[in-house]
Amino acid sequence: MKQSKREIFQKICAISLLLLSSACNQRLSQNSASTTTQSTADCRVVEHDAGDTQVCGQPQRVATLSPYVLDMMLALGVQPVGHVEYYSSTRQQFDRPSEQIPYLGDRITTQPLNLGERQTPSLETLTLLKPDLILGERWHFQSYDLFSKVAPTVLVDYGEGGGWQEDIHPIAKALDRESEAEQVIAVHEQQVAAVQRKLASVLATNPRLLLITTVDNLSGSIHLFNKDTPGTLLERIGFELIGSEGVKRGTGKTISVEVLAQFSPDIVIVSGSQYGSHDPELNKFKQQWNQIPILQTMKANRNGCVYFVDNLLWGGNVRGPISEEIVMEQLPELLLPPCQNSKPEN
């Protein structure tokens, strides 16, 4: 049967549309495969203390759940969108971080949201924040699965391994800043060498150092935290930390005033704090020390070698490369010129 020109034209159009549709589908399939390959290539698996986490791209909205991880992140050049401070606060936002976040706030250029309690950050606020990465510590292990549903989560345990020099590597990998981590460590080594030179006279005459921490009341609360920051830092600088035997990193050992008086260090550093407050009120601890007769018999006390510092920084509450840099800046101001360690024992 002879077909009309119209029927022939309709068939040609149908065939053309079919070929065009097939070509488009093939192109879309190729583009989809290319996008998937590119996306997968931009992802990496980060091994950390709570497991393995896949992170893709370079995170732009990072929530920090402790001052420790904030310290490392700032050292790597990344700003937070949400943060949990050491002492809890009712404020919704750290709108003046230099005043509200001790020791690290002057390096923060954002106004991070307050995520609540350090031990139990607000899951609701985290969800509303929509971070693309969450960084936390060992006490967040039990909430790891919940946090991971909000965003890729990386947790580190300062109490295990090699301190921040080890923990910074999974943090840096998650942030896609691994080369910056090596640079942070190299700069830190230079800072340690520099402070060793500055304190050479102190290390030569007064090498034995006792570091204690106390909260609120010196006579009722004395702890040895010599394997925590900055105890490990002081050892690397060249001091011999006494009383640290058997004290694991990240843990403490409680002692009495009577036991404290039995130590014979060249230098005593008292790291004090007021519970729930950023103000250490160091004069209060100096007065308490001077009012305890048995402490007056210590050689370091008789030689004027007892110093008082803020526990928030020196007690390991704020830890990391920036915090240790601040400690190293304070050490020469604290210990120079060397106290006289020449008076005889009673």
Domains and CATH numbers, the chain: 44-176 (3.40.50.1980), 202-335 (3.40.50.1980)
Determine the Cα–Cα distance for residues 345 and 38; give it in Å rounded to an integer.
Answer: 72
Give the number of C-alpha atoms closer than 13 A to the C-alpha of residue 126, restricted to the C-beta side.
Answer: 28
In 3D, which of 66, 47, 80 has the Cα closest to residue 117? Answer: 66
Radius of gyration of the chain (CA): 29
Model pLDDT, residue 117:
86
DSSP secondary structure letter of residue 176: T
49 and 138 Cβ atoms separated by less than 8 Å: yes
Residue-wise pLDDT tens digits, 105-143: 999 999 999 999 888 899 999 999 999 999 999 889 999
pTM summary value? 0.84
Determine the Cα–Cα distance for residues 198 and 12; give it in Å rounded to an integer.
Answer: 89
72 and 291 Cβ atoms separated by less than 8 Å: no
Q: Indicate whether 175 pLDDT > 90.
A: yes
Q: 246 pLDDT band (50/70/90 cuts)?
A: low
What are 136's strand-pairing partners? 155
Q: Indicate whether 36 pLDDT > 50.
A: no
Model pLDDT, residue 343:
47
In 3D, which of 80, 87, 83 has the Cα closest to residue 114? Answer: 83
211 and 226 Cβ atoms separated by less than 8 Å: yes
Both tokens of residue 66?
């402790």
In 3D, which of 304, 233, 315 has the Cα closest to residue 278? Answer: 315
Q: 224 pLDDT band (50/70/90 cuts)?
A: confident
Q: Residue 231 burial (CB < 10 Å; 0-12/13-18/19+)?
A: buried
* 3-class secondary structure per residue, 107-170: HCCCCCEECECCCCECHHHHHHHCCCEEEEEHHHHHHHHHHHHHCCEEEECCCCCCCHHHHHHH
Angle 164-175/321-335 helices, nearest 10 degrees?
140
DSSP secondary structure letter of residue 227: T
Q: DSSP E strands: which ranges in the chain?
A: 43-48, 51-56, 62-64, 80-83, 113-114, 133-137, 153-156, 208-215, 222-224, 240-241, 253-255, 267-273, 306-310
Residue-wise pLDDT tens digits, 296-315: 999 999 999 999 999 889 98
Average pLDDT of the residues in 33-61: 81
Model pLDDT, residue 9:
45
